[in-house]
Amino acid sequence: MNFSIVEDSLPPVCRYSPHGWGEGLGSDYYGALQVAEAYCGIRRIRNVLPGIWQHGCVPPWQQVQPEMILSGAPSNARCWVGRKDEEEYLRANGYQRVKAIGLPITYTSETGVQRIPGSLLVMPTHCIPMDDKASDFEEYVAATADVARNFSVVATCVSGRCIDTGLWVRHFEKRGIPVVRGATVDDSNSLLRMRMLFEMFEHVTTDRYGSHVAYALYLGAKVSIWGPTEPLTREYLLRDTLWRRFPDAIDRILSDETRRKSDRFLGRLRVDPSNGIIDRELGGHMVGHGNRLRPEDLRREFGWQLPLRAAKAAATKVRRSLPWRAARKVYRIGSRLLEASSKPAAMHSR
């Protein structure tokens, strides 16, 4: 199959301007609000939410610091997360205004795309934001090229951040593996594109857990965590501005206990890409599919009924104004005069 046919079928990159990190902590990244708008049947809200909506899938074994689930949101913030276990964990740690409603990916619509038999989508882990020491890992690219011959179609999905930083692309293309752009924080079609890719490719493989693992499981791909990878180290996590605030949490996430918890979830995914695992139930649990709200409830939760309330308030204000009351008084007097003048005419007609 010509890969350009695959690429041309994907939603195009559609740039927009997300709010600054300090305003929404990423709540409107990757087109999350545009997805929610479409789900709710609303056009062009694009406001900062009255709270923080979790935009990535934090697995249970990474619950080592409450702020890490919500990108550093303060405990008095109103927050929405994907899963009930996250809601319970956050409430136990001082977040009282938190509710599980599902992640933004759960509000995307089915694409209707046909899955390509024998296809493989390779997804190397994306780099940390603003990491000036980020590097790709050519050994992983070489291993991927070795197994590519076992599949009918092979492509690599690289995050927009990594592409813009110059990572991964040249190594994969040098080995004849085409690269497709993945999610980018300022692309309103990011979540739609990722959904289509995960519904299109039969197999998805990656070198390390990330939100993409949960998404691919949720959308029915055969998922594997496979291949050589650079170890997750304290030095690496300290390059992340958020992790840097919680050095003790880094020790907890790198602990043997956390690794054991991770293996209980991910151990069976550590297989060759051709033996990837299908587990929609696990994927649905990870992204909080069962906690999705109905459109009318999501509108209410996000305060997107404000235009209706504003219209009612404006109408009430008009009705209470002096000109309106004067006009109503004139109308009532006029109605009575007309009524009185019509009575004699009625009597004469008898």
Of 164 and 123, more confident:
123
| Alpha carbons 100 and 54: distance in angstroms, whole number | 10
The stretch 298-314 carries a mean pLDDT of 69
- Is residue 306 scored above 60 in pLDDT? no
pLDDT of 252: 96
pLDDT of 45: 59
- Is residue 279 scored above 50 in pLDDT? yes
**For residue range 66-108, what is the model confidence (pLDDT) as tens digits?**
999 999 999 999 999 999 999 999 999 999 999 999 999 999 9
Tokens 């043997």 sit on residue: 256
Contact (Cβ atoms closer than 8 angstroms) between residue 151 and residue 118: yes
Q: Which residues contact 31 (CB under 8 A, 6 or more apart)?
A: 14, 16, 187, 188, 189, 190, 191, 192
The stretch 331-335 carries a mean pLDDT of 60
SS (H, E, C) 216-282: HHHCCCEEEECCCCCCCCHHHHCCCCCHHHCHHHHHHHCCHHHHHHHHHHHHHHCCCHHHCECCHHH
- Is residue 314 scored above 60 in pLDDT? no
**Which pair of structure tokens corresponds to residue 347?**
């009597």
Shortest CA distance to 83 belongs to which of 264, 292, 348, 322? 292
**Which pair of structure tokens corresponds to residue 90?**
């956050």
pLDDT of 132: 55
What 3-state class would DSSP assign to 90? helix
Q: Which amino acid is at 146?
A: D
pLDDT of 190: 97
Of 146 and 317, more confident:
146
Of 270 and 312, more confident:
270
Q: Which amino acid is at 261?
A: K
**For residue range 201-219, what is the model confidence (pLDDT) as tens digits?**
999 999 999 999 999 999 9
